[in-house]
């Protein structure tokens, strides 16, 4: 059996060829684990095709980084390191991808990039000691050593902090990075929501390096507008779909109320391992896991939308953005209405959206014309408009068990504003 190269069929990019470093990396336990992390958390509860995983997204990002490297005429080493960072950029992702990110950051202060870093530096093992015997491949740290890849540089690229060659980092971390391109097109494919369909070839054609930074040729203005639009529409209709959001809030709550959470413990699990772990915990966790399995979700009892936001509610939202005050308010509801713990969740999504996707505010891309360099806003008013466009359309939402919905709905105003 020839182990020199391997071709994997990806429904998005077609055949992806792997050799050397990349052929080794794909077998590493940190990458293989991504087979069990759904790319879009609970989106399949609304879009039944959305079971795709971080593994294929990692592969796709690797592929696109490599293609972009070719188009930009990067040298062999640059191409290798950016493609390597692309393949590894998500290995620290916890179960259900972004679902638990916010709650774990709030409660134990770490996020998936912290775990990614630990894994790349070999300071942490992704697997259980009992599993080790049956893992046929070295881990990522050892593979990088074998190929003399500088782990620190990989982390700098992933964190968007390379000083020497900003364009390399921007290929993975900017408004026009390949990570985003891959996930938009991939999520569009598996959800069946066409918004994310972007002309990848055309995009790659327009990339250019300008004064060490990643930029876009003037003929690419349309492609970039298209990408920004695709992203905002995918956020509205898929990533912040209300039902998907409710499922995510439920799981987050089940985790949140666990006391003394060990750092990284939850991050390291696969989707299925987390569900199984929760099932064995307290009765609330068992309830939530069963509800998610059979799609018996909490219902929306009260909502303030962008369009009916007044001065009074603006102040309320400001207060509720503080997670501590929000949790206190939830408790108030539970106590006043005699609702068991965990069955009232108040969602104030704005902050979380912007932490999950900071690129949403970065639309000011460098545009290179024959002689001059401007920014996207000089060519089109659309980019700015997209930045100002609200996602999602609710600013506060209260969800609860169906049987409490009516009482919560009736008393919400009063309780919220007291």
Pick between residue 83 and residue 250 the one whose CB is nearest to a second copy: 250
Residue 260 found at the interface with a second copy (CB under 8 A) = no
- Asked if residue 94 lies in contact with residue 267, where contact means CB atoms within 8 angstroms, the answer is yes
Kindly identify the residues of this chain, within the stretch 124-143, that bind a second copy according to CB under 8 A. Answer: 127, 130-131, 133-137
Binding residue for a second copy (CB under 8 A) from 59, 251, 254, 345? 59
Kindly identify the residues of this chain, within the stretch 98-127, that bind a second copy according to CB under 8 A. Answer: 127
Q: Which stretch binds a second copy (CB under 8 A): 113-121, 253-261, 264-272, 346-354?
A: 264-272
Residue 197 found at the interface with a second copy (CB under 8 A) = yes
Kindly identify the residues of this chain, within the stretch 219-258, that bind a second copy according to CB under 8 A. Answer: 222, 225-226, 229, 232-233, 236-237
Looking at the DSSP bridge assignments, the partners of residue 368 are 217, 373
- Asked if residue 34 lies in contact with residue 55, where contact means CB atoms within 8 angstroms, the answer is yes
| Residues belonging to the chain | 418
Kind and range of the H or E run holding 24: helix 20-27
Give the C-alpha separation, 384 to 363, whole Å: 7
Residue 314 beta carbon to a second copy: minimum distance, rounded to whole angstroms: 18
- Asked if residue 189 lies in contact with residue 11, where contact means CB atoms within 8 angstroms, the answer is yes
Residue 163 beta carbon to a second copy: minimum distance, rounded to whole angstroms: 32
Binding residue for a second copy (CB under 8 A) from 286, 326, 327, 359? 286
**Binding-residue total with a second copy (CB under 8 A):** 83
Q: What is the DSSP string of 228-255?
A: HHHHHHHIIIIIT-HHHHHHHHHHHHHH
Binding residue for a second copy (CB under 8 A) from 82, 86, 91, 193? 193
Pick between residue 229 and residue 415 the one whose CB is nearest to a second copy: 229
Kindly identify the residues of this chain, within the stretch 295-354, that bind a second copy according to CB under 8 A. Answer: 295-296, 307
Instruction: For residue 24, give the nearest of 153, 140, 155 by alpha carbon.
Output: 140
Q: Which stretch binds a second copy (CB under 8 A): 141-149, 336-344, 345-353, 372-380?
A: 372-380
Residue 256 beta carbon to a second copy: minimum distance, rounded to whole angstroms: 19
Residue 36 found at the interface with a second copy (CB under 8 A) = yes
Binding residue for a second copy (CB under 8 A) from 19, 20, 48, 161? 48
Give the C-alpha separation, 159 to 169, whole Å: 8
Q: What is the DSSP string of 174-230?
A: STT-HHHHHHHHHHHHHH--GGG---HHHHHHHEEEETTEEEEEGGGHHHHHHHHHH
Residue 202 beta carbon to a second copy: minimum distance, rounded to whole angstroms: 7
């Amino acid at each position: 059996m020839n182990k020199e190269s391997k071709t994997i069929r990806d429904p998005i990019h077609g055949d992806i060829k792997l050799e050397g470093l990349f052929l080794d990396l794909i077998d590493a336990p940190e990458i293989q684990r991504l087979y069990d992390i759904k790319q879009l958390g609970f989106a399949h509860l609304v879009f039944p095709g959305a079971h795709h995983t971080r593994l294929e997204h990692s592969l796709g990002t690797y592929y696109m980084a490599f293609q972009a490297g070719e188009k930009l005429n990067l040298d062999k080493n640059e191409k290798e390191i950016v493609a390597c960072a692309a393949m590894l950029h998500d290995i620290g992702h916890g179960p259900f991808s972004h679902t638990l990110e916010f709650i774990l950051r709030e409660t134990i202060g770490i996020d998936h990039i912290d775990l990614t870093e630990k894994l790349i530096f070999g300071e942490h093992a992704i697997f259980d000691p009992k599993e080790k015997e049956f893992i046929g491949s070295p881990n990522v740290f050892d593979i990088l050593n074998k190929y003399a890849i500088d782990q620190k540089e990989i982390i700098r690229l992933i964190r968007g902090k390379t000083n020497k060659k900003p364009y390399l980092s921007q290929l993975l971390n900017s408004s026009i990075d390949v990570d985003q391109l891959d996930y938009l097109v991939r999520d569009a494919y598996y959800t069946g929501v066409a918004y994310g369909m972007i002309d990848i070839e055309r995009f790659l054609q327009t990339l250019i390096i300008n004064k060490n930074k990643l930029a876009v040729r003037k003929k690419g203005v349309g492609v970039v507008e298209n990408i920004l639009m695709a992203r905002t529409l995918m956020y509205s209709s898929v990533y912040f779909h209300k039902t998907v959001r409710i499922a995510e809030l439920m799981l987050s709550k089940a985790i949140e109320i666990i006391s003394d959470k060990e750092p990284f413990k939850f991050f390291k699990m696969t989707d299925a391992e987390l569900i199984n772990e929760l099932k064995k915990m307290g009765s609330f966790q068992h309830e939530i896991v069963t509800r998610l399995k059979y799609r018996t979700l909490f219902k929306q009892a009260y909502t303030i939308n962008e369009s009916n936001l007044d001065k009074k509610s603006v102040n309320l939202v400001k207060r509720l953005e503080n997670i501590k005050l929000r949790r206190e308010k939830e408790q108030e509801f539970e106590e006043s209405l005699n609702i068991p713990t965990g069955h009232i969740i108040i969602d104030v999504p704005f902050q979380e959206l912007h932490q999950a996707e900071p690129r949403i505010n970065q639309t000011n891309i460098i545009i290179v014309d024959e002689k001059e360099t401007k920014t996207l806003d000089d060519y089109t008013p659309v980019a700015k408009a997209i930045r100002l466009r609200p996602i999602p359309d609710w600013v506060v939402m209260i969800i609860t068990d169906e049987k409490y919905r009516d009482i919560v709905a009736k008393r919400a105003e009063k309780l919220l504003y007291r």
